[in-house]
Amino acid sequence: MTRKVKVGDIYVGGDAPVSVQTMYDRPLSAIEENFDVRMAKLKSMGCDIIRFSYPDIKEHDQLSYVVKHTPMPVVADIHFDYKNALDCIDCKVAALRINPGNIGDRWKTEEVIRKCKDHDVAVRIGLNSGSLPKNTSGADMATLMSDTALEYISWFENLGFYNTVVSLKASDPDAAYLAYTKFASQSDYPLHLGVTEAGGAVTSCVRSTIILSKLLEKKIGDTLRYSITGAIEDEVIAGTELLKSMGLRKKGARIVACPMCGRKSFNSQEFLAEVQNDILSCNKDICVAIMGCQVNGPGEAKGADIAVAGIGKKVYIYKNGEIYKEVASEEAREQLLKVISEYE
Ligand code: SF4
């Protein structure tokens, strides 16, 4: 079992459940007006930790604001300038992610680690295959990544600091898999899993899921992120669905939706896009089916707690397998969410 690292009000590693992470998709200078609402929803959807890029200490006030208005532990992502790492600790982040290899002289990283120790802030050593020190030993990529992480850990341990999580991401899933297994065979520090630059939702989900599920089956991995060129909400959905499918997270809301075909009399694809995040953030152990026509609609509706099936020009909402309401399609979203919120 890995050691346990405290990240804000949750733990990563040891007997703690595997956590799901994402990374905010805007600069701190352009936070949306309904930031609080979005963060609360991400948490309800299953996001446990969120990272923010912190490239400039001029954004100190914005980072402090973000920490105050985010219900999950906030991680600051630091590259190049150790002063940003020192400053983000004053913004009360729970953790920071650094790659000592791009911070410069060793004393700069050490200064950051001393301050993290004083303020009980966790550190993720974030190594990417694209940003490793020069390979002078001729080692393969996995060995180089693992050995580099172990060396940085030894720097930290010399300072009496142990609150460290490690990530060894590569865009090549096989390289990531080998690096993670290599490291796990040599160290008990917890691992943050991910395949980096994995592409859009479909390619990322395929590439990441193959590797992440193989690692998790071997009990390697304590926290994870799906990197998706797309909505961060999708990263959270992908992470939680993987953990639910592997029995590593309780069920929560489950959506069954038909793929849609030429028989459709209701656009289940558009409808799903409209309601998906609301359903997945409802904090209930329910199954909701969204079906496009009368072929499979009523059948699936019977097996779900709540269902919507478009039949002809009407949309039927089912509750516990029985028709509960008939509504116009333009009212279907609002009515479905109402039925879900009232569902016991
Ligand atoms: S439920 Fe109807 S619309 Fe959806 S895939 Fe099946 S046959 Fe096609």
Q: How many CA within 13 A on the CB side of residue 335? A: 17
Give the Å distance between the CA of 269 and the centre of ligand 1. Answer: 11
Distance between CA atoms of 85 and 55, rounded to whole angstroms? 9
Residue 110: per-residue pLDDT: 98
Report which protein residue has its CA nearest ligand 1's atom 2: 293
At CA 181, angle to CA 178 and CA 182, rounded to 5? 80
To test the pocket of ligand 1, the residue of 261, 271, 272 to mutate (highest count of ligand atoms within 8 Å of its CB) is 261
Residue 314: per-residue pLDDT: 86
Residue 236: per-residue pLDDT: 97
Distance between CA atoms of 136 and 288, rounded to whole angstroms? 55
Q: What is the SS3 assignment for 185-221? A: CCCCCCEEECCCCCCCHHHHHHHHHHHHHHHHHCCCC
**pLDDT tens digits, one per residue of 3-50:** 999 999 999 999 999 999 999 999 999 999 999 999 999 999 999 999
Pocket of ligand 1 (CB under 6 A): 258-261, 263-264, 291-293, 295-297
**pLDDT tens digits, one per residue of 117-139:** 999 999 999 998 777 777 767 77
User: Relative to the CA of 309, which ligand 1 atom is closest?
Assistant: 1
Residue 279: per-residue pLDDT: 96
**pLDDT tens digits, one per residue of 216-240:** 999 999 999 999 999 999 999 999 9
Nearest to 246 by CA among 284, 217, 215, 210: 217
To test the pocket of ligand 1, the residue of 264, 269, 294, 308 to mutate (highest count of ligand atoms within 8 Å of its CB) is 264
Report the range of poorest mean pLDDT among 109-113, 140-144, 279-283. 140-144
Q: How many CA within 13 A on the CB side of residue 325? A: 18
User: Relative to the CA of 259, which ligand 1 atom is closest?
Assistant: 5
Domain 5-245 - what CATH class?
Answer: alpha beta
User: Relative to the CA of 262, which ligand 1 atom is closest?
Assistant: 8
User: Relative to the CA of 291, which ligand 1 atom is closest?
Assistant: 1
Residue ranges per structural domain of the chain: 5-245, 254-342
Distance between CA atoms of 227 and 194, rounded to whole angstroms? 7
CATH of domain 254-342: 3.30.413.10
